[in-house]
């Protein structure tokens, strides 16, 4: 192996290196994408130092701000002992293009045995036409704002005198119970777990034109939105046509009153969120559309 003397860059002491090592070092230096220049060809200035310091501060601030703005979702499981009941809010916005508002109902239930049938609080229903446009409400029609009137003794709105007490047709919980409108009769039947097969046989429903109002809504849809406060346990909530009730521990929907053998329950989930909002939250069912035609006899 041949040896040769190599002089340092700035007159350093000479040393002996092998020719093979020198060639290897030269090849490695040729790969340097950022070649250095001699200190004689550049100078350090105060302005350059200030710019370098300011640039470093700006880059560090931007990096810190970006790390704060990015939300990282971590799933954890906490097991708590005790009987303290926790609640979770469920926010929803669902559109049924072919199911009228007077037919669709909302129920919620969980494994603790708690049930909420035909939920009406904290939700809003809007009638829509076949093109998805909101139908302007008309006075005294289904879906219209309630018009407050002087109520009779038992809450009836029928044209009877003050002593009128409508029959509940066998569904009275007590001897002095009264059903002065169609809705009260249907509610009494629901509590008993009975199906109201023919509203035309009910005086209150016949007077109010219950079936006629349903026919008037043929071809309409419904947009229903709002929120539910439910127990933080396993359970479900669902939208379905008809009044729901419990019969022999079985959840049943009464569809006989509508005189229909099929319902188009196609729907679009505009929004479905659980819990409080936080930045970066993703609701996987938002915008999901289901085309389903259910035949029920």
pLDDT tens-place string over residues 13-70: 444 545 666 676 776 766 666 667 776 666 777 777 888 888 889 998 888 887 777 6
Rounded Cα gap, residues 37 and 196, in angstroms: 95
* pLDDT top residue among 87 and 251: 87
Residue/partner pairs of 161-170 with CB below 8 Å, 24 or more apart: 166/203, 166/204, 167/203, 169/202
Nearest alpha carbon to residue 236 among 251, 257, 217: 251
Q: How many CA atoms lie within 13 A of 256 on its CB side?
A: 13
3-state SS string over the chain?
Answer: CCEEEECCCCCCCCEEEEHHHHHHHHHHHHCCCCCCCCHHHCCCCHHHHHHHHHHHHHHHHHHHHHHHHCCCCCCCCCCCCCCCCCEEEEEEEEEECCCCCCCEEEEEEECCCCEECCCCCCEEEEEECCCCCECCCCCCCCCCCCCCCCCCCCCCCCCCCCCCCCCCCCCCCCCCCCCCCHHHHHHHHHHHCCCCCCHHHCHHHHHHCHHHHHHHCCCCEEEEEEEEEEECCCEEEEEEECEEEEECCEEEEECHHHCCCEEECCEEEEEEEECCCCCCCCCCCCCEEECCEEECC
pLDDT in tens, 100-132: 888 888 888 888 778 777 788 888 889 888 888
The answer on pLDDT for 224 being more than 70 is yes
Domain count, the chain: 2
Residue 199 lies in a domain: yes
- Band of pLDDT at residue 279, cut at 50, 70 and 90: confident
Residue 283 lies in a domain: no
Rounded Cα gap, residues 60 and 73, in angstroms: 24
The answer on pLDDT for 185 being more than 50 is yes
Q: How many residues does the chain have?
A: 297
pLDDT of residue 137: 60
- Domain end (from 171, 192, 217): 217
pLDDT of residue 269: 92
Pairing verdict, β 221-231 and 235-241: unpaired
**What is this structure's pTM?**
0.53
pLDDT of residue 258: 63
Rounded Cα gap, residues 183 and 188, in angstroms: 9
Rounded Cα gap, residues 166 and 154, in angstroms: 9
pLDDT of residue 47: 79
- Band of pLDDT at residue 155, cut at 50, 70 and 90: very low
Residue 295 lies in a domain: no
Q: Give the residue numbers spanning the domain of 5.
A: 1-43
Residue 284 lies in a domain: no
Q: Which two tokens stand for residue 73?
A: 């979702």
The answer on pLDDT for 230 being more than 80 is yes
pLDDT of residue 95: 92
* pLDDT top residue among 3 and 242: 242
pLDDT in tens, 156-184: 444 545 567 888 888 888 888 888 888 78
pLDDT of residue 270: 93
Residue 25 lies in a domain: yes
Taking residue 89's Cβ as centre, other Cβ atoms within 10 Å add up to: 14
Find out whether 294 and 265 touch, Cβ atoms under 8 Å: yes
Taking residue 229's Cβ as centre, other Cβ atoms within 10 Å add up to: 12
Residue 135 lies in a domain: no
- Band of pLDDT at residue 91, cut at 50, 70 and 90: very high
pLDDT of residue 94: 92
* Residue whose entry in the numeric block shows the structure tokens 């990282």: 72
pLDDT of residue 249: 65
Average model confidence (pLDDT) across the chain: 73
* pLDDT top residue among 284 and 5: 284
Residue 94 lies in a domain: no
Taking residue 185's Cβ as centre, other Cβ atoms within 10 Å add up to: 23
* pLDDT top residue among 151 and 48: 48
Residue 272 lies in a domain: no
């Amino acid at each position: 192996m041949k040896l040769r003397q190599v002089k340092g860059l700035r007159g350093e002491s000479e040393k002996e290196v092998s020719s093979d090592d020198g060639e290897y070092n030269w090849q490695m230096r040729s790969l340097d994408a950022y070649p250095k220049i001699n200190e004689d060809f550049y100078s350090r200035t105060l302005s350059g130092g200030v710019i370098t310091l300011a640039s470093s501060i700006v880059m560090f601030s931007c990096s810190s701000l970006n790390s704060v703005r990015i939300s990282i979702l971590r799933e954890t499981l906490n097991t708590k002992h005790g009987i303290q009941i926790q609640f979770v809010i469920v926010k929803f916005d669902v559109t049924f293009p072919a199911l009228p508002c007077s037919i669709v109902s909302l129920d919620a239930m969980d494994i603790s045995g708690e049930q909420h049938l035909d939920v009406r609080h904290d939700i809003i229903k809007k009638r829509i036409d076949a093109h998805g446009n909101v139908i302007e409400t008309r006075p005294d029609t289904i879906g219209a704002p309630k018009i407050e009137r002087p109520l009779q003794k038992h809450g009836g709105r029928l044209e009877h005198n003050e002593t009128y007490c409508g029959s509940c047709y066998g569904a009275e919980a007590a001897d002095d119970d009264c059903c002065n409108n169609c809705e009260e009769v249907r509610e009494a039947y629901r509590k008993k777990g009975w199906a109201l097969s023919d509203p035309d046989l009910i005086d209150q429903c016949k007077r109010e034109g219950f079936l006629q109002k349903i026919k008037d809504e043929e071809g309409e849809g419904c947009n229903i939105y709002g929120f539910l406060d439910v127990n933080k346990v396993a359970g479900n909530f669902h939208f379905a046509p008809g009044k729901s009730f419990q019969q022999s521990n079985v959840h049943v929907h009464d569809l006989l009153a509508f005189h229909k053998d099929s319902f188009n329950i196609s729907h679009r989930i505009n929004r479905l969120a659980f819990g409080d909002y936080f930045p970066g939250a993703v609701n996987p069912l938002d915008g999901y559309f289901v085309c389903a035609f259910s035949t029920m006899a």
